[in-house]
A and B are shown apart, each in its own frame.
Chain A
Amino acid sequence: MSDLNQLLAQHAFFAGLEPHLIDRVADMATVAEFPAGTWIARRGTEAGTFHAVIEGRAGIELASAGQPALVVATVHPGEIVGWSWYIEPHRWQFDVVALDPLRTVAIDGGLLRVACVDDHELGYHIGRRLARVVASRLDATRHQLMDVYGHAR
């Protein structure tokens, strides 16, 4: 098994995928490194690649004119950055920055999307994992919306 295959197999997002499916994903992937403070993705641009974080934190940022940019979520090792590649119109919805020196497995979302249409077994497993990520982020966002610490305790 190549280093890349191993990184993917051990990553929480891909954990449990059959080795032949890991192989298919590995064919579309490469290891990427980002120094702290560099951009991983820019809002509005084409979402071609997504990242399985291996080391360091990525920050999902929102900026509005006249206000300082805010990190609204951090992505940690074992988690993924980006699902815009999977959903139309395949453009990044947020800015993503490397908060630490960041190591990821960068995966070509365009190729994986085609592969998912081609191979429904792969498509099912990827879709299911993405749904879990989206659900968890939605849950977190709803709780953050409640501003629970703004009230007592």
Chain B
Amino acid sequence: MFVLDPATGLDALVRALVDDGYRVVGPLVRDGVIVYDDVRSGDDLPKGVTVEQSAGRWRLTIDDRPTRFSWTPGADSWKRFVFPAHQEVLRVRHVDGSFATTRPPSPDRPLALLGARDCETRALGVLDRVLIDPDHPDPRYAERRADTFVVAVTCGQPSATCWCTSMGGGPRPREGFDILLTEVTTGVHRLIAEPGSERGSALLARVGIAPATDEDHADVEAVADAATSSMPARLPGADIPTLLAGMHHPHWDEVAARCLSCANCTMVCPTCFCSTLSDTAALGADHAAGAETVRVQEWASCFQLDHSNLAGHPVRATTMSRYRQWLTHKLQTWPEQFGTLGCVGCGRCTTWCPAGIDLVEEAAVLIGAGAQGGTP
């Protein structure tokens, strides 16, 4: 473990990653929210930012404190860098009475993700399980993920919508990172950095100013402990899949009456992976219309009417059935499909719901009924 200065150390870290050929993506304050985008120096990163979140509400405050990671994430997640919302899959061209395909060029640089929370590193792990399955790994996703460098951050000030401790996580990431930073504000303001991989270790040796002491270790634990105790366990986590019974529970209709079927929850979710493939004609000066077609993959949502259909007719024609699909997939059927929980407890779906529907509260009602032996 090393100690980094919150200003110069962070800057050195960003510059070292850039020098090593990474496209460094990190938090920026833009249009009044935290977004993830390209950063070139430590100065690009937020300073003195805190975030207040609740169902349907996200507010940012900037003060003159020097803190770098006192915020919680916005709607943005790292998903869009490894699994873009819109990506070209193939170009197909008529050639000699048949067709030939070309793949889009590979990314020119590997990604470095700077400032990923535990919920976010786990979300990447969940996506890996879905998209890099042994039978049919997604080559585009795998290529982006292969060399991704992850700088994770201990979450010092969770928001009211956070519930990672119920979903197998906690403020301090345990795996899935190359470097883990913990910001300590008691005593001297500093970042304690621990490596999670050999390349992380090598990089820290270049930018760290001093090895961490026992006191630094103790402070890291204290930051994590304080964050954990600020987050009440809201649901019985791993037991949810079996508790969430009741396909005919009246509460599905109750929540559907409030749900706008807008798909926000699925778009901000860092693990939602549903997508759609479509063809668009490529129009260019060098070839006639219709000679080439581009296959495009875009994010899709189970809240879309045509998401699941049978011969063109929607299978889930009501908001009730679509909300039920979203919640049961996320919390109940995902483990059977992919061997992991589908939810990481980040709370984005609750924060960014325009109707303020709190997934945890809804699940609690449905679980309450399940535990009492509601209709299966």
Contacts and interface: CB of A to CB of B under 8 A. Distances in A.
Contacts of B313: 151
Contacts, number: 6
Determine the main DSSP class of A at the interface with B.
loop
B311 interface: yes
Contacts of A152: 310-312
Interface string A43-55: 0000000000000
Interface string A141-153: 0000000000111
Interface of B: 310-313
Contacts of B311: 151-153
Contacts of A153: 311
A152 B310 CA distance: 8
A153 B311 CA distance: 8
6 contacts: A151-B311, A151-B313, A152-B310, A152-B311, A152-B312, A153-B311
A125 to B, nearest CB: 37
Nearest to A152: B311
A142 B313 CA distance: 21
B313 to A, nearest CB: 8
B318 to A, nearest CB: 19
Nearest to B311: A152
A34 B311 CA distance: 45
Contacts of B310: 152
Closest 6 A-B residue pairs measured CB to CB? Answer: A152-B311, A151-B311, A152-B310, A153-B311, A151-B313, A152-B312
Nearest to B313: A151
Nearest to A153: B311
A151 B312 CA distance: 10
B312 to A, nearest CB: 8
Contacts of A151: 311, 313
A152 B309 CA distance: 11
A151 B311 CA distance: 8
Interface in A98-153: 151-153
A80 to B, nearest CB: 37
A75 B311 CA distance: 33
A152 B311 CA distance: 6
A152 B312 CA distance: 9
Nearest to B312: A152
A87 B367 CA distance: 52
A32 B137 CA distance: 70
A153 B313 CA distance: 13
A146 to B, nearest CB: 13
Nearest to A151: B311
B170 to A, nearest CB: 48
B167 to A, nearest CB: 39
B314 to A, nearest CB: 13
A39 B100 CA distance: 66
Contacts of B312: 152
A153 to B, nearest CB: 7
A151 B315 CA distance: 14
Interface in A49-106: none
A152 B313 CA distance: 10
A152 B315 CA distance: 13
A133 B185 CA distance: 82
A147 to B, nearest CB: 13
